[in-house]
Amino acid sequence: MDHVPLFDHIQHLEELIEVYGDVLIAWELRQSPESIVPVLAEAGRLDTSQVQALLDEILIGGGARLFTEFQAIEAAAKESENPEALKAVEKVREALLHIGRYNADALAWGMGSRQKLRASLQNLGRT
Amino acid sequence: MRSTALADQLARAYREARVLVLGDRTPKVDRAFALHREFIAIRASFMEEQEGPISEWEATFLERTRRAIIVALRHQAVAIRDRWSENRSSFGIEPSSPHVDLEHALQLSTEAMELHLNDDSDASRTGRVMEFIRQSIAHEKVPAPVASVLPTTTSVAVTASDHNPTPPRLVVTGRGESTRPAKVANMSQGVPSRLPLVTAAGLVLVIGLASVFMRIDRVGSKGPVGSVVAKARTLLPIRSLSPRTRPLAALRNGQGRFEAALQKGIALYNDGWFGPAAGRFREALTIDPRSPQAYLWLGRTLMRSDQHAEARRALEQVIELTPTGPQADEAAMLLSRLP
């Protein structure tokens, strides 16, 4: 993280959060996490390989990783005292709050499903 | 910062959009139309100045929701089209049942297209979906084939490709990809089956000319020549030699189709489906282009969907076709309300 420019890291985290939101909706609909890949890619902003890579990160780290990363970014932004960075971090915070507010059921359900996540990852044929 | 209620609405719209895509493939027409209407209302509320400036996160989420809704509308349009195709090939299910109306599919894809911005990379994909549905609608207007070995008197004008009850499934290609192979494959399927029809058409021409020159239409069914002609009339798609009854039958048929299209349009209008309703009224006008009634309904519908220029044209047609009377009065009143 130290070697990645702060704004690149913020953008990456934003994309992870977007993918995570869809993973939670897919879970609620009892769909596989992989089913979101074509759907997110279809909008055209991220391509299939980008969504797949982001999904892999989610499946490995889970939601908790997003919060850990956010804390690190927030600390780095405060340290930089850059108002633009602080503003960008605020936006990410709102995105995370949104996930927590509107996907609370899925988050609770997902907390106990690490096994399922691991199985999903194995099905992808990746390590 | 805006009210939480607005943020809630936006979150629900996003979620609904994803559900419409990630859920099962059953077309959910009402929900898709409702989602579009809701998003338009939410977006308008966000843009209202008195609510204060939009935050970066709100702008991001609004944009994300816009993209999600485009994908959802496009998926639903394709789902309707797929269901229509399945029904058409199953021969037992009414293809024009409410959940498989291709006009709905066209309307949904049109709404998706209207939500696109200039720099959306997937706008061309939506355009291809619209075009494919238009082709399917053109396909739908041709009646399903009758299971008969004998050609009918009208079959000459219908091509082999029109008889195909299951048009090809939609393949939405990515940017730079070509749909040409699918079209070529389609053509290669159509060519051999067209040959018998071409041959039959040639025979019809020969027999028709022969009938003119030899006056065989006056030959009765008795005698060797008569029996040959009678046999030919039975087996070949010869135009009826007693044309007096045809215009009346055609008129009755056209009137029936006109009434059906008009009534369906009115029902859709009353349910609030203005886009599909306009499609039905236009269909009625293709059958009877001089119907002030159909123009009046089209004008009303277009007014309700804020297509003012087209509404004006339709209402002016009413007055042109029937300068006096209640229809003209209503058209004039509606014209005065147009901005």
* C-alpha distance from A102 to closest chain B C-alpha (Å): 7
Q: What is the CATH number of domain B245-337?
A: 1.25.40.10
Q: Is A41 helix (H, G, I), strand (E, B) or coil?
A: helix
The residue behind tokens 């007055």 is B319
Q: Which residues in chain A are contacts of B121 at CB distance < 8 A?
A: 44-45
**Measured CA distances, B128 to B15, B102, B109, B134 (Å):** 26, 15, 10, 10
B6 touches chain A (CB under 8 A): no
Distance CA A26, CA B18 (A): 8
Mean pLDDT of chain B: 71
Torsion of CA A18, A20, A21, A25, to 10 degrees: 140
Residues 73-102, chain B, touching A (beta carbon < 8 A):
74
pLDDT greater than 60 at residue B40: yes
Q: Which one of B22, B56, B121 has the shortest CB-CB distance to A44?
A: B121
Q: Which one of B11, B22, B60 has the shortest CB-CB distance to A26?
A: B22
Distance CA B232, CA B103 (A): 42
Q: Do A91 and B57 touch (CB under 8 A)?
A: yes
- Minimum mean pLDDT among A8-22, A40-54, B31-45, B82-96: which range? B82-96
Distance CA B215, CA B45 (A): 76
A29 touches chain B (CB under 8 A): yes
Nearest chain A residue to B175 by CA distance is: A44
Q: Which residues in chain A are contacts of B21 at CB distance < 8 A?
A: 39
Residues 98-127, chain A, touching B (beta carbon < 8 A):
98, 101-102
pTM: 0.55
A31 touches chain B (CB under 8 A): yes
Distance CA B39, CA B70 (A): 11
pLDDT greater than 60 at residue A12: yes
Query: pLDDT > 70: what percent of chain B?
Result: 61
Q: Which one of A43, A91, A101 has the shortest CB-CB distance to B71?
A: A43
Give residues with Cβ within 8 angstroms of B306, minimum separation 6.
none
A87 touches chain B (CB under 8 A): yes
Other CB atoms within a 10 A radius of the CB of residue B108 amount to: 31
Other CB atoms within a 10 A radius of the CB of residue B222 amount to: 9
For chain B, what are the domain ranges? Answer: 4-140, 199-241, 245-337
- Whether residue B295 contacts residue B316, with contact meaning beta carbons closer than 8 Å, is answered with no
Per-residue pLDDT band for A85 (boundaries 50, 70, 90) equals: very high
pLDDT confidence of residue B99? 53
| Amino acid in the structure at residue B104 | H
Q: Do B22 and A45 touch (CB under 8 A)?
A: no
B203 touches chain A (CB under 8 A): no
pLDDT greater than 90 at residue B253: no
* C-alpha distance from B119 to closest chain A C-alpha (Å): 10
For chain A, what are the domain ranges? Answer: 6-124
Q: Do B22 and A25 touch (CB under 8 A)?
A: yes
A86 touches chain B (CB under 8 A): no
For the segment B212-222, what is each residue's pLDDT rounded down to a tens digit? 444 444 444 44
Chain B interface disruption, residue of A16, A18, A48, A94, most B CBs within 10 A = A94
Q: Do B18 and A25 touch (CB under 8 A)?
A: yes
Q: Which one of A18, A31, A91 has the shortest CB-CB distance to B64?
A: A18
Question: In which region does residue A47 sit, left (phi positive, over 0), alpha (psi from -120 to 50) or beta (all else)?
Answer: beta
Q: Which residues in chain A are contacts of B10 at CB distance < 8 A?
A: none
- Whether residue B166 contacts residue B152, with contact meaning beta carbons closer than 8 Å, is answered with no
For the segment B286-295, what is each residue's pLDDT rounded down to a tens digit? 888 889 889 9
pLDDT confidence of residue B49? 55
ipTM of the complex: 0.79
The residue behind tokens 């609904």 is B16
Q: How open is the CA angle A11-B9-B118, to the nearest 5 degrees?
A: 55
In 3D space, the residue among B81, B2, B16 whose CA is nearest the CA of residue B47 turns out to be B2
pLDDT confidence of residue B302? 87
Q: Which one of B60, B71, B125 has the shortest CB-CB distance to A39?
A: B71
Give residues with Cβ within 8 angstroms of B58, minimum separation 6.
B2, B7, B10, B46
Q: Where are the alpha helices (DSSP H) in chain B?
A: 4-22, 29-47, 56-90, 102-115, 123-140, 160-163, 180-214, 223-235, 245-270, 274-287, 292-304, 308-321, 326-337
Q: Do B67 and A43 touch (CB under 8 A)?
A: yes
